[in-house]
Amino acid sequence: MLAAKRAACDGEVVDESTKKAKLDNAATAFQHVSSFGDFKPRRILSEDARTKFMAVEGTFGGDASDSAAAVVVVEKTPFSRENYELVFTADTKLEETFHNDVYTSYGGKLSAALNGRPSKLWEETNPDWAPTLLLGYSTCHEDPAPYDRMNIERLQKDEADVAAVVESIGTGSNNAVEGQPPSEDESHMERNKPGLTATVICPATQKHVDKYLFKPQHMITETPKLYKEVTEPYITSQQLSLQWVYNILEHKKESERILFEDPDPETGFILLPDMKWDTKQPENLYVLAICHKHGIRSLRDLTADHLSLLRNINEKVKAALLLQFGVPSHRLRGYLHYQPSYYHLHVHFSVLGFDAPGTQVERAHLLSTVISNLEAFPDYYQKATLGFTVKEGDGLHAKYKEAGYFD
């Protein structure tokens, strides 16, 4: 009995020793990897379109028997304050995707200098230049979990997607480790310039500028009295032009982008992709339902009379997104902003798992909760105290400061 236990323990020691040696060998091999040329991607573990992040499972090495299992995390680097001017040159090529009033969106390609390596002129005039490591990565040498055969098509798609990402990063060479820039032909560089999406607002008002200018934020706890005395007068006098919204509702602009429309003047709406979503990846789905009915500026204007409108939006948007993109209702969040960025009622829908802007608790109000509140109390949003944030120095912040709110 004791001999059997000792033999079993010895076997475990041998197995652990062998496993440790295998992992050590794999780690040593990885330390000498200078490119992704030997990396075989298997599947995408997670991704975030907003932060340009992707975690990929795969292997380093040749044969499956001696390959090292790995997890590689890649992120595109952020724009640099030191060279941001390089974005705004003739090297950045733009193609208009749509135009509406003062808003125009473009897809584009950035120059090589913004792809983690400087321009040829910089390389020629700075011979001691050495590239900076731009990819964050980590590895895990544990054996990968078995794959679900039922998901083989998904895995094959993931492998193709990851292969495209790895190819776009470039295989590089040992020269990169030695401090010399990799050699690539111009056509390859042109194909693999990083993508850019840009929205141009022109002519822009000071309110447009203030919207995107970073400033400290302050929390407002808005009572019905404060709304009537401070917020509402400001909204009435200062809101941005809604002409671009009316252009959409009247099919004068962006009609080709409409995903769904209910034309009813009281309960109808138009469903559009948000400018931050290209409609190609359900993983970062983000759409807007803009109601046809005029005069509903925000949550504060909603009463039980608008329940049919809100229910209609909730039901038909979810049905449309399931039909067109295969995203079920339990994977969606529908919400209204307060304060909204423009004062014509619209509802945001984004897929769970996507860190959509404006989903913070101090701004987003779930559509289902709004409906429930109005069912219980028809004038809920005329009597409720609502919290929101304002940027320091903007118009609404100034009005609250004048009213002594921050004293």
| Average of per-residue pLDDT across 47-55 | 75
254 is in an annotated binding site: yes
The pLDDT, as a whole number, for residue 144 is 34
More confident residue, 276 or 10: 276
Q: Specify the pLDDT at position 176.
A: 31
Q: What is the mean pLDDT of residues 77-86?
A: 74
User: What integer is the mean pLDDT of 46-63?
Assistant: 74
Confidence of residue 17 (pLDDT cuts 50, 70, 90): low
259 within 8 A of 272, measured Cβ to Cβ: yes
Q: What's the pTM value of the predicted model, to 2 decimals?
A: 0.63
217 annotated ligand binder:
no
Q: What is the pLDDT of residue 271?
A: 98
Active-site residue flag, 346: yes
Domains of the chain: 18-197 (3.30.200.40), 213-402 (3.30.428.10)
Cβ 364 vs Cβ 351: under 8 Å: no
Residues 261 and 290: their CA atoms lie apart, in Å, by: 10
Is 147 assigned to a binding site?
no
Q: Is 346 annotated as a binding residue?
A: yes
Residue 21 pLDDT exceeds 60: no
Query: Which pLDDT value is given to residue 174?
Result: 31
Q: Write out pLDDT tens, residues 170-204.
A: 433 333 333 334 344 444 434 444 466 677 777 67
272 band by pLDDT with thresholds 50, 70 and 90:
very high
Choice among 292, 306, 346, 397 that is catalytic: 346
CA-based nearest residue to 297, from 336, 352, 329: 336
Q: How far apart are CA 349 and CA 370, in angstroms?
A: 14
pLDDT grade for 15, boundaries at 50, 70 and 90: low
Identify which has the larger pLDDT, 239 or 127. 239
